[in-house]
Amino acid sequence: MKVLCLNGWGGRLHEPLVTFLKAVSPDVLCLQEVVHSPQADKEWLTYRDGDHVLPQRANFFRDAAAALPAHAAIFCPAAQGELWDGDRSVPSRWGLATFVSGAFPVTEQAQAFVHGAFSPHGYGVHPRSRNAHAVRIFDYERNRPVCIVHMHGLRDLRGKMDTPERNAQAHRFADLVRGIAQPGDALVVCGDFNVEPSSETFQILGNLGLKELVTANGFTSTRSASYKKPGRYADYMLVNDRVEVRNFTVVTDPEVSDHCPLLLEI
């Protein structure tokens, strides 16, 4: 089984990303920063937040689903705000998504907010609402259930240091994991946590029997060349002792986002 985790950067590097997804064809894709604009009639729109202006793939969720047509596609919105087509505003939802191959039945799933709540009338002030999604699937080859849970951690304009909000976020995320994983399940937890490797987040998740793979395997960054700021960690993947890791890597080539994909084979 292949599990891929990626912050997709709103589909900004659309063509290489879609090509990559088709080539890797992960059994489970955990995708953050997903744009879904059902009313859009353009392929690209613009996100504006003060001086922060980014092109966004108007229907990134639909693009990813089309790249993985044999997968169940689940979109989990964190907010509905506005993107822009020139001077015209377009309603757009933003959140995360999970894609599961049809070979693996989804027997349970759950989503929850790890910070804030759904923002229905705009993306909101920073730090904005963040959510998480969990699926429990059945692996017929190994004759066992596997739980996969991911989140997009809150962004704090001051940096990735621990804060009371991030501590509360980690506890809420752990509660979501506990709510779906059964004793004896293989468990994979991942996402763009937006914290440093020294964060208390990993102590909280460690209490669930999870071990972090990025720094444990000697990787010194999860950010691509498109990311120009200091601080090279954001994305993490953790597993429990029921998961037999065949291979784990932080993918640096091709470049498909300002984050690097995390690819786990179990």
Both structure tokens of 160: 């990735």
User: Is the CB of residue 122 less than 8 Å from the CB of residue 81?
Assistant: yes
Q: Where are the beta strands (DSSP E) in the chain?
A: 2-7, 28-36, 44-49, 52-57, 71-85, 88-101, 106-115, 130-139, 144-152, 186-192, 211-212, 235-239, 247-250, 262-265
Per the prediction, the chain carries an average pLDDT of: 97
Nearest CA to 11 among 68, 46, 67, 55?
A: 55
Q: What is the pTM of this model?
A: 0.98
User: What domain range is 146 assigned to?
Assistant: 2-265
**What is the structure's pLDDT at 1?**
98
Burial state string for 89-103 with b = 16 or more CB within 10 A and e = fewer than 16: ebebbbbbbbbbbee
User: In the predicted model, what is the mean pLDDT of residues 247-266?
Assistant: 98
Say which CATH number the domain at 43 has: 3.60.10.10
pLDDT of 52 strictly over 90:
no
User: In the predicted model, what is the mean pLDDT of residues 134-139?
Assistant: 98
Domain count, the chain: 1
Per residue in 192-237, pLDDT tens? 999 999 999 999 999 999 999 999 999 999 999 999 888 899 999 9
